[in-house]
Amino acid sequence: MPAFATQAVSPADLEDLCEIRVLAMRPSLERIGRFDDTRARQRLRDQFRPADTQLILVNGQRAGFFCVIREEGGFYLQNLYLVPGMSGQGLGAAVLRQILDQADASGLPVRLEVLIESDAARFYERHGFVQLRQDGVDLFYQRAAAVLQS
């Protein structure tokens, strides 16, 4: 697993993040016949929250990004995307572990949603997320906070 660092984003990073999102999601969206470059970019533009978003850096290079929003009663993992070529090396798991450790320390669950038929569903299930429901396009998951022993 490559070592990584995180870094705050600014509004100027938005278009680079849109590119990462499109590159990461394109295979899943094409597989189900729903890829639309414009829509994929606009969805991120519409929900972009720079204060809650972090770049993932490997050797100083942008390897992806994530957005975690603190909500009443938990955290919402809005985005976690890696650039192609960074998947399958343990980077996503290490980043997710950091997010889950923060949630566990707060005693709060983490919610997220993924596209139906996305490889991300299996990834999150391996990390303790349980599917709550689906809406025909997305699967909605939650992972309860782990009980920390003192």
Residue boundaries of the structural domains of the chain: 5-143
What CA–CA distance (Å, rounded) separates 92 from 90? 6
- Percent of the chain with pLDDT strictly greater than 70: 97
The answer, yes or no, to whether residue 35 has pLDDT greater than 70, is yes
Q: Specify whether domain 5-143 bears CATH 1.10.630.10.
A: no
What CA–CA distance (Å, rounded) separates 71 from 57? 26
What CA–CA distance (Å, rounded) separates 101 from 15? 29
How far the first Cα of the chain sits from its last, in Å, is 29
The answer, yes or no, to whether residue 69 has pLDDT greater than 80, is yes
* Segments in the chain forming alpha helices (H): 14-31, 37-47, 91-106, 119-126
Q: Which residue has the tokens 């490997």?
A: 58
What number is the average pLDDT over the span 35-40?
A: 82
pTM listed for this prediction: 0.90
DSSP character at residue 86: S
CB of 17 closer than 8 Å to CB of 8? no
Give the pLDDT confidence score for residue 15 in this predicted structure. 94
Give the pLDDT confidence score for residue 87 in this predicted structure. 83
The answer, yes or no, to whether residue 150 has pLDDT greater than 60, is no
CB of 45 closer than 8 Å to CB of 14? yes
| Structure tokens, 56 | 């993932």
Look at 1 and 93; give whichever has higher pLDDT. 93
Computed over its alpha carbons, how large is the radius of gyration of the chain? Answer: 15
pLDDT digits 0-9 by tens, 72-120: 899 999 999 999 888 888 999 999 999 999 999 999 999 999 988 788 8
Q: How far is CA 7 from CA 16, 48, 107, 117, 134, in A?
A: 14, 16, 25, 30, 33
Mean pLDDT, the chain, rounded, equals 90
